[in-house]
Amino acid sequence: MSFRNILTIMDLSNFTTLQNLEAAFGGESMANRKYLFFAEVARKLGFTDIAKLFKETADQETEHAFAHFVLLHPELVVQDPAVLTDEQKREIISRCLSLAIEGETYEYTTMYPEFASAAQRDRDNPAAEEFLKQAKESSEHATTFREAAHRFGLLKFIENYHADRYAEALEVLNGGQAATRVAGEDPKTRKWICRQCSMIYDPVAGDPDSGIAPGTAFEDIPDDWRCPICGATKKTFKPLEEKLAA
């Protein structure tokens, strides 16, 4: 029976099976990295055939780990990308980013600090230093993933804006009237758009990931703030002209 068929009949409400799958995924993943390490040792010592054996086995362990992960997260299975809508694709990638953030956050807030404390109690300073170093790197990884998720979310609004403008252009092409667009007057609600990438700054939402609190008017943003999508300066933005309500 294929893993895809197993996926359709397996009930992950069985907590023991879920735990076993997580343990199996962890074990296969660890085996992959361990065998790659062995392969590097063998390569350095001149045992090329053995290095190749370790590498091939590591690749097989990766496939095993992937098969387990599919059962743990069937929502991430992509069988035919062509039949997915853009929204479905965004949901899958958003889920991947969320899982990455969750994992890295656990590592730097809980796992490595606890490991470091235990190593310090055991007076194993090299281990403690390594755990603290990994905690710092996990924190940086989590931040990177959060920034990516933020940018990914912003792209949705950019695509909506582009689709709206294209639809408007098509309507005019077919003999319709161009919509009347004006920029908002209230700084607290007036949106601004990046002329370089079309990122839209909404003062109601702000830009918390860049330290800009919700409710911050564009005029009150520090001059050194940059577009979270393309990095353009604040001067690159202009007031967003929106359609007047019919």
Kindly report, residue by residue over 24-70, the tens digit of the pLDDT.
888 889 999 999 999 999 999 999 999 999 999 999 899 888 888 88
| pTM of this prediction exceeds 0.85 | no
* Predicted confidence (pLDDT) per residue in 134-164, tens digit: 777 767 766 666 666 666 666 667 767 766 7
8 Å CB contact between 183 and 190: yes
Residues of the chain with CATH 1.20.1260.10: 13-71, 84-151
- The CATH number for 179-241, chosen from 2.20.28.10, 3.90.320.10, 2.40.50.70, 3.30.70.980, is 2.20.28.10
Closest CA to 107 of 55, 56, 145, 65: 145
Q: Answer yes or no: is pLDDT of 113 > 60.
A: yes
Q: Please, which residues have CB within 8 angstroms of residue 64's CB and are 6 or more apart in sequence?
A: 24, 28
Q: Class assignment of domain 84-151?
A: mainly alpha
Letter string b/e over residues 149-168, b meaning 16 or more CB atoms within 10 A of that residue's CB? bbeeebeeebeebeeeeeeb
Q: How far apart are CA 239 and CA 220, in angstroms?
A: 14
| From-to residues of CATH 2.20.28.10 in the chain | 179-241
Homologous superfamily of domain range 13-71: Ferritin, core subunit, four-helix bundle (1.20.1260.10)
Reduced to 3 states (helix: H, G, I; strand: E, B; else coil), residue 226 is: strand
